[in-house]
Amino acid sequence: MAVREQDLIEKLDDINEEIRRLRDQLEDDDTEDREDDPDADNADGEGGSEGGDEPTDEEIAERLDDLLTEYEETEQRLKKLQKRNARVTNIQTRHAERSNINDRVGSAPIMPHTDRVNTRNGRHQYSLMRAIRGQTNAILGHGPGLSGLELEVHQELARTRGKAPAGVLIPWDAGVQGRQTRALSTTTGTGAVGVTTLPTMIDALRDRLVLVSLGANLITDQTGPFSLPKTTTAVTGSHVSTEGTPVSQSDPAIGDLDFTYKSIEASTKLTRQFINGASVSAEAYIVDQLTKAVATALENAALNGAGTGGAPKGLFKHTASPDGIGVKVMGANGDKPDWTDVVEMTGMVDTANAPNATRAFLTNPTMVAYFQSTPKESGYPVYILGDSGTINGYPVASTSLVPNNLTKGSSTSKCSAIAFGSWEEMLIALFTGLDLFIDPFSSQPHVNVTVAQDYDVHLAHAESFAICIDALSA
């Protein structure tokens, strides 16, 4: 019968208990001898009972020696058994990971940093700071350059990407060390600490994007330019006067939304001491800084992009014709919007039969304050934007990226923009990987860390939005 770990552990417990009992017995016997004869240490002859059943001190000591030897031998057997069992478990785990593709993480193709076999079941995580440190060392000629998992990921992204990188490619789905959270659930037990989760860089970016929180679709990991079909004319039906009369045919018109490379850059400065001694919390900090800058640039382009010079056409750069977007005009010189004006904007989107799930208003803090202090009707203390945080039943979001310095007629640099729409109709595409550049020379003693992101933005159906670009608050 095979010996189990538990059997050996129980045997060690039994031996240890007997050792403890024998030691106590020796100490008790010695104490009794001293109490009976204070000069027992100087007496000749052997102690112990004469002819009794009690073992002598020498017999107890001999038994102790045997038990100690047995304990050590059993302990060695246990260690060998545990080591063997651990090796078996490790081999079985590795074999299961290699044979079961479902145990791997990420969408095909599986990348070096998302393959649990390659990352030792997630124990070896991708590190943005290691990538920055390696590239900095390579440029300065100090120590090893990009290596290990970070080098593998860069090479794989460069291979699959449709555009040659200029720097080091960083994956958006890399886990952000230092931002771990622990999930609690009913399955982990009351008060228990659940599984540690590692948010990714794309999670951090989504948290920063107001447009995504409104419902805009973020399309990630595209390796190159692509097109999405778009219905420009829907199929229509008609009545027939007599059964069997042919119906006039109406075919849908299909167009394309072509997503091509646009590029934004975001930069931050780090000291060499920060790079070389950075902890996991420092890595979370740099990720937060870069994703904040990328999110700001992305949203600014999605809202205000000129549509020329390599920039996409932002929401507020669309016009009623030919784009089909609804435009609320306040006046030749702009004007203050009232309740009727905002309701008219929602009506434009209603008329276009736009999806309803993600409809919301977006404006800037200036107009939010105006709507919160402007009643729906003069003398009636119910405001356009009330305590419910809605206008006409729809949520309201605010960002300073919505301009408040537009010009209309004589209203110079003081008009604000407002948008209402079905935000799922806004599509933001991120092409594979952040391109990271290191410049350790321009801002010494700091190191400039710059990331470039290729992206594009389109409105699936511009008529699902209504905008106003000449709203006044005073």
Judge whether 310 lies within some domain: yes
- Taking each helix axis from N to C end, the angle separating 128-140 and 280-304, rounded to the nearest 10 degrees, works out to 90
The C-alpha atoms of residue 56 and residue 54 are separated, in whole angstroms, by 6
Residue 66 has pLDDT above 60, yes or no: yes
Query: What is the distance, to the nearest Å, from the Cα of residue 3 to the centroid of all Cα atoms in its chain?
Result: 47
Average pLDDT over residues 376-396: 92
Judge whether 161 lies within some domain: yes
Average pLDDT over residues 60-76: 91
Judge whether 71 lies within some domain: no
pLDDT more than 90, % of the chain: 45
Average pLDDT over residues 217-228: 89
Contact 126, 150 (CB under 8 A): yes
Average pLDDT over residues 424-451: 91
Average of per-residue pLDDT values in the chain: 83
Contact 467, 315 (CB under 8 A): yes
3-class secondary structure, 60: helix
Parallel/antiparallel/unpaired status of strands 262-271 and 446-459: antiparallel
The C-alpha atoms of residue 67 and residue 287 are separated, in whole angstroms, by 59
Judge whether 383 lies within some domain: yes
Judge whether 248 lies within some domain: no
Q: Which residue has the higher pLDDT, 325 or 380?
A: 325
Q: Can you say whether residue 148 is alpha, beta or left, with left for phi > 0 and alpha for psi between -120 and 50 degrees?
A: left
The C-alpha atoms of residue 94 and residue 104 are separated, in whole angstroms, by 12
Q: Which residue has the higher pLDDT, 345 or 160?
A: 345
Judge whether 42 lies within some domain: no
91-146 pLDDT per residue, tens? 876 666 555 544 444 445 678 887 776 777 666 788 888 899 899 988 988 877 89
pLDDT at 96: 62
Contact 43, 29 (CB under 8 A): no
The C-alpha atoms of residue 286 and residue 279 are separated, in whole angstroms, by 11
Domain count along the chain: 1
Judge whether 442 lies within some domain: yes
Judge whether 66 lies within some domain: no
Contact 107, 27 (CB under 8 A): no
The C-alpha atoms of residue 384 and residue 348 are separated, in whole angstroms, by 18
DSSP 3-state percent helix, strand, coil across the chain (nearest 5): 40, 25, 40
pLDDT at 99: 53
Q: Containing domain of residue 204, as a range? A: 128-184+196-228+270-474
pTM of the model: 0.70
248-284 pLDDT per residue, tens? 655 555 678 999 999 999 888 888 888 887 666 788 8
- Taking each helix axis from N to C end, the angle separating 5-36 and 57-99, rounded to the nearest 10 degrees, works out to 160
User: Would you list the DSSP string of 220-277?
Assistant: EEE-S-EEEEEEEE-------SSTTPPPPP-PPEEEEEEE--EEEEEEEEEEHHHHHT
For residue 426, the surrounding DSSP H or E stretch is strand 426-431
Q: Which residue has the higher pLDDT, 410 or 191?
A: 410
